[in-house]
């Protein structure tokens, strides 16, 4: 949990970082912004901090040898002495400019902030915030003049949508700090990792979210690559495995591999196949095999959409199977030369 209720924004500077690959400029400020208006200060705080609510944390990787200094180094300098804030913020902006080479990366305002007394999972510490605005919205302004009104439009920032953000908490520095990241514009394949990896040089912390997500991905891959009709496994059996796995993570607070195998993979041959797949998956993804961990509800919710049990029949029908796979039969009609599903049920409802 991240709580800014008692936090204070003590230093705030804005630069402009264009797309270097397209020849766009880098404009650096020399002074902090002083916000005297209470409403404006509260609005800025809400815009910059409200998106950070989940239990997904990152940490800096070991030093990036391609750069003499990187975000991790500059953050450590700021934490060691606040007098370094402006100069380090300029160096961080330059580093971001150097990473902005892909033609689809948008230029925008780049904010560096210093927050005092943040609460991250019960620990009170300071934090450095790095934020980038890439998109502007059109909004209307209405003015009243005595007995009539005027209206005009302008472009501005939507305070309910932060494009890119990063909070570096001054805790766990020996492990690469504790970091929370927001990136709502990461759908473009060629620059999806521009913020998290190219600029920040971070990786996900190995916590409950990390372990839960990886194991769910393992289950999904096992169902899609091993429990297939090519391996003589019926589609409904594949769906049953997905359903049971999803239910297991929803209903449990802690994960234990022996409990999982007993409930989800009762057949010895199925357990052996899963263990082999999991070992290959972990080696491919460079993961350690963790057999017990806290289950992250955030990870379960986020990955649930990938665990849906849907049978797609040509382009005509979709069958959603939520349980009772013994009420589903599959066959082949010789006369029509077509496959079929037979469903047994008691009641029907047209939603």
Residue 348 lies in a domain: no
Residue 350 lies in a domain: no
Percent of the residues in the chain that have a pLDDT greater than 70, as a whole number: 92
**Shared domain check, 288 and 152:** no
**Shared domain check, 317 and 194:** no
Give the confidence band of 345 by pLDDT, cuts at 50, 70, 90: confident
Number of domains the chain contains? 2
- What pTM value is reported for the model? 0.81
Most confident listed range (202-206, 233-237, 323-327) = 202-206
Q: Taking the CA of residue 285 as centre, how many other CA atoms within 13 Å lie in the half-sphere pointing to its CB?
A: 17
Nearest to 194 by CA among 171, 162, 163, 170: 163
| Domain boundaries, position 104 | 2-205
pLDDT for 72-126, tens place per residue?
Answer: 999 999 999 999 999 999 999 999 999 999 999 999 999 999 999 999 999 999 9
**Shared domain check, 200 and 214:** no
Element (H or E) spanning 335, and its range? none
- In degrees, rounded to 5, the angle at the alpha carbon of residue 147 between the alpha carbons of residues 142 and 148 is 35
Residue 216 lies in a domain: yes
Q: Quick check: 68 pLDDT over 60?
A: no
Q: Under DSSP, is residue 165 helix (H, G, I), strand (E, B) or coil?
A: strand
**Shared domain check, 267 and 186:** no
Q: Which of 205, 226, 253 is the last residue of a domain?
A: 205
Q: Under DSSP, is residue 348 helix (H, G, I), strand (E, B) or coil?
A: coil
* CA distance linking residue 294 with residue 282, whole number of Å: 19
**Shared domain check, 186 and 77:** yes
**Shared domain check, 138 and 51:** yes
Cα 162–chain centre separation:
14
Tell me what pLDDT residue 340 has.
81
Cβ atoms 181, 199 nearer than 8 A: no
Structure tokens at 276: 């082999």
**Shared domain check, 318 and 236:** yes
**Shared domain check, 119 and 136:** yes
Residue 351 lies in a domain: no
Nearest to 209 by CA among 108, 296, 278: 296
* CA distance linking residue 171 with residue 83, whole number of Å: 20
Residue 319 lies in a domain: yes
Q: Which of 179, 205, 231 is the last residue of a domain?
A: 205
Q: Under DSSP, is residue 94 helix (H, G, I), strand (E, B) or coil?
A: helix
CB atoms within 10 A of CB 320: 9
Residue 349 lies in a domain: no
Element (H or E) spanning 108, and its range? strand 108-120
Tell me what pLDDT residue 89 has.
97
* CA distance linking residue 336 with residue 49, whole number of Å: 61
**Shared domain check, 228 and 320:** yes
**Shared domain check, 216 and 149:** no
**Shared domain check, 61 and 195:** yes
Q: Which residues lie across from 127 on neighbouring strands?
A: 115, 169
Q: Which of 205, 230, 254 is the last residue of a domain?
A: 205
pLDDT for 227-257, tens place per residue?
Answer: 887 888 777 677 778 878 888 998 899 999 9
**Shared domain check, 260 and 159:** no
**For residues 191-210, b (16+ Cβ closer than 10 Å) or e, as one string?**
beebbbebbbbbbbbbbbbb
């Amino acid at each position: 949990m991240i709580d800014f209720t008692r936090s204070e924004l003590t230093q705030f500077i804005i630069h402009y970082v264009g797309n270097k690959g397209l020849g766009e400029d880098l404009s650096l400020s020399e002074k902090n912004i002083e916000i005297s208006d209470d409403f404006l200060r509260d609005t800025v705080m809400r815009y910059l901090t409200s998106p950070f609510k989940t239990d997904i944390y990152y940490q800096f990787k070991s030093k990036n040898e391609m750069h003499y200094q990187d975000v991790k180094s500059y953050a450590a300098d700021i934490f060691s002495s606040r007098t370094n804030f402006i100069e380090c913020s300029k160096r961080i902006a330059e580093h971001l400019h150097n990473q902005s080479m892909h033609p689809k990366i948008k230029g925008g305002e780049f904010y560096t902030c210093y927050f005092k007394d943040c609460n991250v999972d019960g620990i009170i510490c300071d934090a450095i915030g790095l934020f980038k605005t890439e998109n502007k919205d059109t909004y209307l302004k209405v003015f009243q003049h005595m007995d009539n009104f005027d209206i005009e439009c302008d472009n501005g920032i939507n305070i309910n949508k932060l494009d890119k953000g990063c909070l570096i908490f001054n805790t766990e520095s020996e492990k690469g700090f504790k970091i929370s990241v927001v990136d709502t514009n990461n759908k473009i394949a060629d620059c999806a990792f521009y913020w998290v990896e190219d600029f920040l040089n971070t990786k996900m912390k190995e916590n409950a979210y990390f372990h839960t997500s990886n194991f769910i991905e393992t289950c999904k891959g096992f169902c899609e690559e091993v429990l297939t009709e090519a391996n003589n496994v019926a589609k409904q059996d594949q769906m049953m495995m997905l359903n049971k796995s999803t239910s297991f993570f929803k209903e449990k607070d802690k994960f234990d591999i022996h409990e999982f195998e007993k409930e989800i993979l009762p057949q010895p041959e199925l357990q052996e196949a899963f263990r082999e797949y999991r070992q290959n998956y972990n080696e491919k993804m460079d993961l350690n095999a963790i057999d017990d961990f806290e289950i992250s509800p955030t990870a379960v919710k986020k990955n649930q959409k990938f665990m849906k049990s849907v049978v797609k029949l040509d382009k005509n029908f979709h069958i959603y199977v939520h349980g009772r796979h013994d009420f589903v039969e599959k066959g082949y009609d010789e006369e029509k030369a077509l496959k079929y599903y037979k469903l047994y049920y008691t009641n029907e409802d047209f939603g």
